[in-house]
């Protein structure tokens, strides 16, 4: 089991390399090291303001960059054609990509084009030491079981991974490696898709996956107006607001704020869960947070099992007092 090629299809947003690219590059490096393989990161964009060599310091052996005006805004048609061309030429064994909105759109079409399989939303990736196959683990049946999937025949083996599932590696001095700008046939950039514009969502484009502090609420908040308590605390901490699936289904918060298997996986430095019981589907979306604070009046709530600090009591009493104390500590008006 030697010489395997691992490809990471990175993501570029607003001309910057998104953090999930470093997370997947680090994981690919870990997998490649188990079988003497190599790691290649691929970046498609309309132009880059970041230095692609930073990926060499995160574990890539080489970085391929493709820049073209048609890639300035997301274009599935062009991306699939360009990536299919590169992957057919390079014939990698494994392809990893982020399970972001664009990744979830491009990768199924790319897998169909290459006539191979795709495992979406993986939470675990390992190499089978006996067969050399990629073991792709993901939740199934509503998160009640974990399924491990293999692609024994077709190549490449393809998987998407939600942001923050793996931690980005510490960047080290690059041990060689190169940035390559491959030649792409011009006709592959000709697209049937014409982008008319781009509008940010009502939340201004903020993403709770990118924040260091997330304050989440569940049905224990009792009513949508109660989320103002969380918003006040989150703003004071420089973070954002999350929500459990029941709270989102009750339309107390929008779907972009949902944390869990059917929402977003977050891994902030601090995660505060208020009025959330701790269903397994929710825990899967936040259990890799650096420090978890749980506020719940039920001493047997499952959320306390993963909490670093548990506050058992009435959240309508605890959170305002916590907010006021923090406000005094930081000197905020």
Higher-scoring residue by pLDDT: 263, 116: 116
Closest CA relative to residue 301, chosen from 320, 263, 274, 267: 274
Place of tokens 């979830």: 104
- Residue 160 scores a pLDDT above 80: yes
**pLDDT value for 77:** 93
- Residue 152 scores a pLDDT above 50: yes
Q: Taking residues 222-246, report their average pLDDT.
A: 94
User: Are the C-beta atoms of residues 167 and 178 closer than 8 Å to each other?
Assistant: no
- Residue 72 scores a pLDDT above 60: yes
**pLDDT value for 333:** 54
Place of tokens 């990471």: 8
With bands split at pLDDT 50, 70 and 90, how would you rate the model's confidence at 61? Answer: very high
Higher-scoring residue by pLDDT: 145, 213: 213
**pLDDT value for 229:** 95
**pLDDT value for 168:** 83
**pLDDT value for 165:** 80
Percentage of the residues of the chain whose pLDDT score is greater than 70: 94
Fold observed for domain 5-189:
Rossmann fold (3.40.50)
Strands 38-45 and 5-9: parallel
Positions of CATH 3.40.50.1220 in the chain: 208-330
For helices 227-237 and 315-330, give the axis angle rounded to 10 degrees: 20
What are the tens digits of pLDDT across the range 97-147? Answer: 998 888 989 999 999 999 999 999 888 899 998 888 999 988 776 556 778
Closest CA relative to residue 177, chosen from 27, 60, 30: 60
Buried residues in 269-295 as b, exposed as e (16+ CB within 10 A): ebbbbbbbbbbebbbbbbbbbeebbbb
Positions of CATH 3.40.50.620 in the chain: 5-189
**pLDDT value for 63:** 95
Measured CA to CA, the distance from residue 264 to residue 242 in angstroms comes to: 9
Percentage of the residues of the chain whose pLDDT score is greater than 90: 65
User: Are the C-beta atoms of residues 288 and 231 closer than 8 Å to each other?
Assistant: no
Measured CA to CA, the distance from residue 208 to residue 205 in angstroms comes to: 10
Closest CA relative to residue 146, chosen from 125, 117, 167, 174: 125
Q: Taking residues 316-320, report their average pLDDT.
A: 95
159 phi and psi, to 5 degrees? -150, 145
**pLDDT value for 1:** 39
Q: Taking residues 276-304, report their average pLDDT.
A: 90
Strands 270-274 and 240-243: unpaired
CB atoms near residue 38 (< 10 Å): 17
Q: Any idea what DSSP says for residue 257?
A: G
Q: Taking residues 261-286, report their average pLDDT.
A: 88
Segment among 64-68, 76-80, 170-174, 240-244 with least mean pLDDT: 170-174
Segment among 84-98, 122-136, 162-176, 210-224 with least mean pLDDT: 162-176
**pLDDT value for 289:** 85
Report the mean per-residue pLDDT for the chain.
89
- Residue 155 scores a pLDDT above 80: yes
**pLDDT value for 144:** 61
CB atoms near residue 32 (< 10 Å): 22
**pLDDT value for 202:** 59
Closest CA relative to residue 263, chosen from 288, 283, 237: 283
Architecture of domain 208-330: 3-Layer(aba) Sandwich (3.40)
Measured CA to CA, the distance from residue 4 to residue 1 in angstroms comes to: 7
């Amino acid at each position: 089991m030697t010489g395997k090629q691992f490809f990471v299809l990175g993501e570029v947003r607003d001309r910057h390399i998104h953090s999930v690219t470093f997370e997947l590059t680090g994981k690919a490096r870990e997998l490649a090291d188990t079988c003497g393989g190599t790691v290649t990161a691929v970046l498609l964009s309309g132009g880059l303001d970041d230095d692609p060599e930073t990926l060499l310091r995160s574990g890539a052996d080489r970085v391929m960059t493709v820049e073209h005006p048609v890639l300035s805004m997301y274009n599935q048609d062009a991306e699939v054609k360009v990536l299919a061309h590169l992957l057919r030429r390079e014939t990698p064994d494994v392809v990893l990509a982020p399970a972001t909105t664009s990744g979830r759109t491009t990768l199924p079409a790319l897998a169909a084009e290459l006539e191979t399989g795709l495992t979406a939303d993986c939470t675990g990736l390992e190499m089978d030491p006996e067969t050399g196959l990629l073991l792709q683990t993901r939740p199934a049946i509503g998160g009640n079981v974990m399924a491990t999937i293999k692609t024994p025949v077709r190549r490449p083996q393809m998987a998407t991974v939600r942001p923050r599932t793996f931690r980005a590696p510490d960047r080290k001095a690059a041990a060689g490696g190169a940035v390559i700008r491959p030649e792409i046939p011009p006709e592959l950039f000709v697209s049937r898709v014409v982008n008319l514009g781009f509008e940010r969502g009502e939340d201004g484009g903020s993403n709770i996956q990118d924040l260091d502090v997330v304050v989440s609420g569940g049905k224990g908040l009792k009513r949508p107006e109660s989320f103002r308590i969380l918003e006040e605390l989150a703003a004071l901490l420089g973070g954002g607001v999350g929500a459990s699936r029941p709270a989102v289904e009750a339309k107390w918060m929008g779907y972009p704020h949902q944390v869990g298997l059917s929402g977003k996986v977050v891994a902030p430095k601090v995660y505060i869960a208020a009025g959330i019981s701790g269903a397994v589907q929710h825990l899967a979306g936040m259990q890799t947070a650096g420090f978890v604070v749980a506020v719940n009046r039920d001493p047997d709530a499952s959320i306390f099992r993963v909490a670093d600090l548990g506050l058992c009591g009435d959240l309508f009493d605890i959170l305002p007092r916590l907010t006021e104390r923090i406000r005094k500590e930081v000197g905020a008006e």
